[in-house]
Amino acid sequence: MHPMLTIAVRAARAAGQTIMRAYTELDRIEVSTKGVNDYVTNVDKEAEAAITYQIRKSYPDHTIIGEESGENAGTNKDFMWVIDPLDGTSNFIKGIPHFSVSIALQYKGKTEVAVVYDPVREELFSAVRGKGAKLNDFRVRVGDANETTHGIIATGFPFKARQHTETYFNMLAEVFNNCADVRRTGSAALDLAYVAAGRFDGMFEIGLKPWDILAGDLICREAGATVTDFVGGHNYVQTGNIVAGSPKITISLVKTLRPLLSEALKR
C-alpha cells in the first residue's frame, strides 16, 4: 500500500471510531451553528483532531486543511491534506446512519491519495492517482450506463445557498424527467464514492467545498468516471458545482443542466 494511503486509512478509521462511539449516545452531542443551516458538533471537532494526530505522527511538516479548524500550516507546503471529519453532520445529529469521513492528500496541487470512509457500514473507498480505486480490498469501476434514462442520479439540495433554489429545482425537474430516479442522501463524499462503485450512475450538486469534493473526485476518476463543472469544464473544485458519472452520463447531465444555469452558475 502507498505509505501515505496507509496513514490516510489509519486516520479515517480513527475518526470513524470517534464518530461511532458518539453515535451510540446522540443525546450527549453538543451542537452549534456555524452559519445558515450549517451545523457543527463536538464530534466533528474530535474526529478532526483524531485525523490530525494520525497525520502529524508521520508527517509533522505537512499542511492540513480541515473543515472545522481551517488551515494548520506546516513547513512543507507542497503536501496538503484536505479533510472533512464528518460529511453528513445533519444526518449524524438526527441519527440517520449515512455519513462519512473524507481525506485527500494533494502534492503540488494534484490529489494523490484519497479515502472516503463510511463507519456505519465499515466501507472504505480509496484511490491512489494512477493506481485505480477500491472499496475495501476490491477494485471498483464506474457503471456502464450509456444514457440517463435508466439511471439513478444522486444530488444534494443547495440548503446553504438558497439563492439558487429556483434554478436548482428547474435543473432537478429536467434531470428527473430524463432518468429512472433520483437520490438525495446527505453526504456528497459518499455520493461520489457510490458513483465510483457503480451504485449511482451519476451525481450533480451546487456549492460544495473542496473538503467535500477532493477525495471523492479522485476515487471517481480512478474508477473511470468523468468529473466536470456544470459547463463541462474543470473548475468544479473552485466553484463547488460538480457533475460526475460515467463519461456518457456526465455528458448527458451537462447537456441537460447547461441551458438552465443562472449567470451565477455559469462561471
Show the DSSP H helices in 73-150 as ranges.
89-94
User: In terms of DSSP bridges, do strands 70-72 and 38-41 run parallel, antiparallel, or are they unpaired?
Assistant: unpaired
User: 3-139: what fold?
Assistant: Fructose-1,6-Bisphosphatase; Chain A, domain 1 (3.30.540)
Q: Give span(s): CATH 3.40.190.80, the chain.
A: 148-265
**Residue reference for cell 488551515:** 71
Bridge partner list, 63? 80
Query: In which band, very low, low, confident or very high, does the pLDDT at 34 lie, cut at 50, 70 and 90?
Result: low
pLDDT in tens, 104-155: 999 999 999 999 999 999 999 999 999 999 999 899 999 988 888 989 999 9
3-state secondary structure of 43: helix
CATH number of 148-265: 3.40.190.80
69 versus 219: the higher-pLDDT residue is: 219
pLDDT at site 135:
98
Give the pLDDT of residue 32. Answer: 81
Provide CATH 3.30.540.10 ranges for the chain. 3-139
Question: 134, 127 in Cβ contact below 8 A?
Answer: yes
Q: Which residue has the higher pLDDT, 147 or 226?
A: 226
The DSSP secondary-structure symbol of 70 reads E
